[in-house]
Amino acid sequence: MNVVLFGATGMVGQGVLRECLQDPSVERVLAIGRSAAGQRHDKLRELVVRDFADFSSIERDLSGYDACFFCLGITSAGMSEADYRRVTYDIAMAAARALVKLNPGMTFIFVSGAGADSSEKGRVMWARVKGQTENALLALPFKGVYVFRPAAIQPLHGIRSKTAWINAAYAVVGPLYPVFKALFPKYVTTTEMVGPR
Ligand X SMILES: NC(=O)c1ccc[n+]([C@@H]2O[C@H](COP(=O)([O-])OP(=O)(O)OC[C@H]3O[C@@H](n4cnc5c(N)ncnc54)[C@H](OP(=O)(O)O)[C@@H]3O)[C@@H](O)[C@H]2O)c1
Distance CA 46, CA 102 (A): 19
> Which one of residues 21, 58, 74, 140 is an interface residue with ligand X (CB under 6 A)?
74
Q: How far is the CB of 16 from ligand X (least distance, A)?
A: 9
Residues 190, 183 contacting (CB under 8 angstroms): no
* DSSP-based three-state secondary structure for 57: helix
Q: In terms of Cα–Cα distance, which of 128, 129, 47, 131 is closest to 95?
A: 47
Is 125 near ligand X (CB under 6 A)?
no
Is 33 near ligand X (CB under 6 A)?
yes
Is 195 near ligand X (CB under 6 A)?
no
> Which one of residues 3, 12, 67, 194 is an interface residue with ligand X (CB under 6 A)?
12
> Which one of residues 58, 97, 150, 180 is an interface residue with ligand X (CB under 6 A)?
150
Distance CA 166, CA 169 (A): 5
Which parts of 84-178 are beta strand (E)? 107-111, 144-148, 152-154
Q: How far is the CB of 36 from ligand X (least distance, A)?
A: 9
Is 13 near ligand X (CB under 6 A)?
yes
Is 109 near ligand X (CB under 6 A)?
no
> Which one of residues 27, 34, 54, 178 is an interface residue with ligand X (CB under 6 A)?
34
Residue 7 or 195: the one with the smaller Cβ distance to ligand X is 7
Is 72 near ligand X (CB under 6 A)?
yes
Residue 76 or 103: the one with the smaller Cβ distance to ligand X is 76
Q: Contacts with ligand X in 169-188 (CB under 6 A)? A: none
Q: How far is the CB of 52 from ligand X (least distance, A)?
A: 5
Distance CA 159, CA 12 (A): 9
Q: In terms of Cα–Cα distance, which of 147, 64, 143, 70 is closest to 107?
A: 143
Q: How many CB atoms lie within 10 A of CB 10?
A: 23
Of the candidate spans 54-62, 68-76, 135-143, 172-180, the one that interacts with ligand X by CB under 6 A turns out to be 68-76
Alpha-carbon torsion 188, 191, 193, 195, what sign?
A: positive
Which parts of 56-177 are beta strand (E)? 67-70, 107-111, 144-148, 152-154
The residues of the shown chain that bind ligand X, judged by CB under 6 A, are 7, 9-13, 33-35, 52, 71-74, 87, 111, 113, 150, 152-153, 161-163
